[in-house]
Structure 1
Amino acid sequence: MATMNISLPDQMKAWVEAQTEDGKYANSSDLIRDLIRREQIKQEKIAALNEKLEEGFASGISDKSLDQIMSEILGKTQG
């Protein structure tokens, strides 16, 4: 495993140390790794959402009314 040194303002350092004192994390490295994993997952979800939005925009504007669309959806779920 590679090592990385980071500099934190005193307030952030104190927060990291407080998170490790309650026993949830063995040390500050565990906490930082968990935060990075969470951020990676969050970014993957955002990228997937953006991809779906782009697909939606690329599909164009429907000429159907909202009532027509809802009827189609409800017909599929009830059928």
Structure 2
Amino acid sequence: MSEHPKELFADEKWDRLIDLSLRRTVYGLLGGSLVALALFRGPSTRAASVAFGAGWGAGSAWQACAKDFQGSVKSSSS
């Protein structure tokens, strides 16, 4: 079993970050769109529902990826 340098793990983390961010943002957009079509009539409330869904998905991905990157970036003060 060969051991990879730590620098290569950053590429894997970025790949996961991009994949997770795209998937959760799209799922949030779809969920917000379904809610908007089912519950709201006005274009501004529908747009707000879609934006809320996309923000929810992006925020969820941000939180998950922040945990993954925590500790992998060295602070410049140490």
Quick check: TM above 0.5?
no
Q: TM (normalized to structure 1)?
A: 0.39
Q: Name the TM-score, length of structure 2 as normaliser.
A: 0.40
Q: Which has the higher helix share?
A: 2
Larger Rg: 1 or 2?
Answer: 1
